[in-house]
Amino acid sequence: MRVAIFGSNGFIGSHLSNYLSTKKSLDILCMVRENSDLSVLEKLKIKYLNNKLNYFIYNPNNLIDLFKDQKIDMIINLISYGVNQDHKNKKIAHKVNTEMPVALYKVASENNVKYFIHFGTSQEYGNEKYIKESIERKPISIYGKSKYEGCNACIEEYIKNKNCKLVILRPFSIYGECESEKKLIPSLINSIKKQTKLSLTEGLQDRNYLYVEDLIKYIYLVIGEISNLEFIDYNIGSAKNIKIKNIAKIISDITNMSENSLNWGAVSYRDGETMEFKADFNRIYGKVGKLDEHTMYDALQKINLFMDK
């Protein structure tokens, strides 16, 4: 099966592209724009013992050109804008997260692509305390709203013409090697290892963190079962929640460094912030099985070792 991965040079896309490229049953095309930064993709070759990545330069303004010389069986769309806190432009978010996915899906459907996996986000649910696919989505952030609109647009297009099967995956908080240093876990690791001050809330939020290795294995299982999937959308996350303060304690234990650099309570909680929630992943478990996922301790050990290389 030939699989084209859009957003292949992002955090999740880089892990997924490297991992799937090692599978003999799959022919992976890493779809990149001209002058894209491929450093994370190339760096992660070491982790996945991958020798070669197959790059394909595409023009987002002329998607039809993708299919002139390539027979593509599946598209995985990981392109997004707004994951980083400094991404606050509503127009860009709408173009990337709403317009681009449905345009890509339409072209795929018109050119005999069998399957289309699109990534939404847990932020589509807003501050709900019990989350499952069937509840009403009430996104708050620019990222959550634009991803929600993009998912809906793809679903509407899929309902019109079901030639190209649509599956939407909504991952919860994903962490791992080569994640942006602005994200929480890399910030905690860097602060503790370098003993630089970091201002935080009290850290009592209960959050759902899934190690990226476990996520990409779930995606691989979804690819294998995609012809049998009856639902359109599936949430993917960890079977266990963890408090932010406990993550810092694990990092301190692994690195043998003090947590004194962390200034707990210096930052106020966001208005209306959900302290505890529960996410239901029975839909994905029922279709592809439940992985024996990494513990936070084991995953952070791997991340720490990779950072030291």
Mean pLDDT value across residues 207-234:
96
Architecture per CATH, domain 2-175+208-236, reads as 3-Layer(aba) Sandwich (3.40)
Segments of the chain assigned to CATH 3.90.25.10:
184-207+240-278+291-307
Residues of the chain with CATH 3.40.50.720: 2-175+208-236
Tokens 């190209």 -> residue: 164
| pLDDT tens digit sequence for 10-41 | 999 999 999 999 999 999 999 999 889 999 99
- Other CB atoms within 10 Å distance of the CB of residue 90: 11
Q: SS3 of 5, please?
A: strand
> pLDDT for 239-276, tens place per residue?
999 999 999 999 999 999 999 999 999 999 988 888 99
| DSSP 3-state of 58 | coil
| Residue 83 per-residue DSSP state | S
pTM tops 0.85: yes
* CATH number assigned to the domain with residue range 184-207+240-278+291-307, chosen from the 4 options 3.40.50.150, 3.90.198.10, 3.30.930.10, 3.90.25.10: 3.90.25.10
Distance from C-alpha of 192 to C-alpha of 255, rounded to nearest angstrom: 8
CB 171 within 8 A of CB 119: yes
- How far is Cα 133 from Cα 149, in angstroms, rounded to an integer? 15
Q: What is the pLDDT of residues 70-102, one digit of tens each?
A: 899 999 999 999 877 677 789 999 999 999 999
Q: What is the pLDDT of residue 273?
A: 86
Segment (H or E) for 302: helix 296-307
Q: How many C-beta atoms lie closer than 10 Å to residue 181's C-beta?
A: 10
Indicate whether 213 pLDDT > 80.
yes
